[in-house]
A and B are shown apart, each in its own frame.
Chain A
Amino acid sequence: MLHNYVMIGRYYPITSRIHNMNPLSKILCTIIFVVLLFLSNDLFFTGLITLFVILIVLMTKVPLKIYWQALKSLKILIFFIIIINLIFNVEYQTIIILVMRLILIVLYTSVLTLTTPPTEITYGLEKFFTPLRLIGIPVNKMALSLSLAIHFIPTIIDQASKIMKAQTCRGINYTTSKIKDKLIGFKSLLIPMIINSIKKADILAMSMELRLYNITSKRTNFRMNKWGFFDTYMLLVHSTILILLIIREVML
């Protein structure tokens, strides 16, 4: 029943070069990518970047069906973009670039979410925002809270589903259109969920405390600190492309 976990975080649990990358490098690469994408204003470079992204997508070894599903939801948006731009007589070249940018961003961020479990993304963000600690923002604590919250999303969804089924058996109608009944339905789901979540949180906190977790102390972070050659490599590749594009822009 917790296969939903994969659907929610969109993490696809296989191994690949990209999966094994340090989440911080993936986040940095994503940011660099978004910037360089907006710097490529002609068809040729957009085409090259498309090839680049396709290469990365293939490296993730995630079935292309999944990427396709992500793109399918863009159909309507793409349609509107094309229509509106045609109405305003925008050059077809620009339209193609606009549409490609959208597709590439979705693909690239899909690479990020498909190859990085939510908690690792949180870890990457934590590392990324570390400088903020200097101005007093408790980055680590926030990251842990966020990480645990994400971690429990599938459990909570499961719980909601069970409660809804049970309440349906006791006479609640979740598909009713009457406002009064809708409120009762809402209440019948919300209250048990809150109570249940608090109980779970309590047990979790107990278990963490008993395993010597202390929010103020330092702790080692077992898996996470691996920064490999591939991470540096990808970061360099992205930065190089970015720099080349910047130079090109400046020279034109």
Chain B
Amino acid sequence: MIKDLNFKYHNKPIFNNFNLTIKKGTWVTVIGPNGGGKSTLIKIIVGLLPAEGYIAVDNILKNKDNIKEIRKKIGVIFENPENTFVAETVMDEIAFALENLEMNKEEIKQKIMEVSEYLNITDILEKNPFQLSGGQKQLVALASVLVLEPKILILDEAINRVDYLDRENILKVLQKLNKEKGITIINITHDIEEALYGDDVILIDNGKIILNGSKELVFKEEKIFNKIGLDLPFMAELSLNLMYYDLVDRMIFDMDEMVDTLWK
């Protein structure tokens, strides 16, 4: 659970009396035009940028002294995982975070094996992370933060540059983490279709929350999306149009379900 109140940033007030609560265990997709403040928000939450206001992560109020605790609870994956690799092998890369905790080597090894088995990457442990495919790189980046057992995962445009198949794979892994381990997922993206994997959608523009709610509700706001110039996911747009012609009575996001509903 994150509770944000009252942010300002530098002299340019990017966030002014900004409030946001994200419930534990939900998958939230954050969308909005470039420059609207999405990445800035992340940096503020993890303490990389200073801001006035209160932030509570998992019921712990953030202050100068507990940054380490807060960071342990939040794992962040960036757009280009190559920029975050520090090691020569996948195994060492995953070990990095645990090394910083002064954990002993046996425990480190065990945790690495746990995470790699969960993500199905045991076969690439000895490889150089730079020589992997885009999707594998992201899995390694994911593993390297999962070892800290975060309660919240933030993805900052992380699935952008990944291939079609790899992308589906990662999204499925994230679903697993969300459903099986109850990890809160915050996915910042330009690809609106990714929102269909999640529960809620938040639209941020110019430092303000324009929309915040379940995907069923948010995607009904066609006018707002048009005004800001954002696309709706295909199935949402289709549903809205079909609802207008009384061919369906609700938002249907799954293609098979839609086909069955239309052709009963």
A and B touch in the complex (CB under 8 A): yes
Residues of A within 8 A of B48 (CB): 206, 209-210
Least CB distance from A186 to B in Å reads 25
Q: Mark A198-232, 1 if CB is under 8 A from B, else 0.
A: 00100110111111111001111111010000000
- Indicate which residue in A3, A13, A151, A220 contacts B86 across the interface (CB closer than 8 Å): A151
Is A212's CB under 8 angstroms from B130's CB? Answer: no
Is B95's CB under 8 angstroms from A222's CB? Answer: yes
- Indicate which residue in A5, A203, A213, A219 contacts B83 across the interface (CB closer than 8 Å): A203
Q: Which residue of A lies closest to B76 (CB)?
A: A210
Is A212's CB under 8 angstroms from B71's CB? Answer: yes
Least CB distance from B9 to A in Å reads 16
Least CB distance from B83 to A in Å reads 4
Q: Mark B91-104, 1 if CB is under 8 A from A, else 0.
A: 11001111111111
Q: Which residue of A lies closest to B80 (CB)?
A: A203
Cα distance, A209 to B47, chains bound together (Å): 10
Residues of B within 8 A of A110 (CB): none
Given that A13-B128, A151-B86, A211-B145 are contacting pairs, would A219 and B71 also be in contact in the complex, using a CB cutoff of 8 Å? no
Least CB distance from A97 to B in Å reads 38
Which of A148, A200, A220, A225 neighbours the largest number of chain B CB atoms within 10 Å of its CB?
A220
Q: Which residue of B lies closest to A119 (CB)?
A: B88
Is B83's CB under 8 angstroms from A222's CB? Answer: no
Least CB distance from A183 to B in Å reads 30
Least CB distance from B197 to A in Å reads 24
State the A residues within 8 Å of B (CB): 2-3, 5, 13, 117, 119-120, 148, 151, 154-155, 200, 203-204, 206-214, 217-223, 225
State the B residues within 8 Å of A (CB): 43, 46, 48, 68, 71-72, 74-76, 78, 80, 82-88, 91-92, 95-105, 108, 128, 130-131, 144-145, 148
Q: List 21 A-B contacts (CB under 8 A).
A: A2-B130, A3-B131, A13-B128, A117-B88, A119-B87, A119-B88, A155-B82, A200-B83, A203-B78, A204-B83, A206-B43, A207-B84, A210-B48, A211-B100, A212-B100, A213-B96, A219-B99, A220-B104, A222-B92, A222-B108, A223-B91
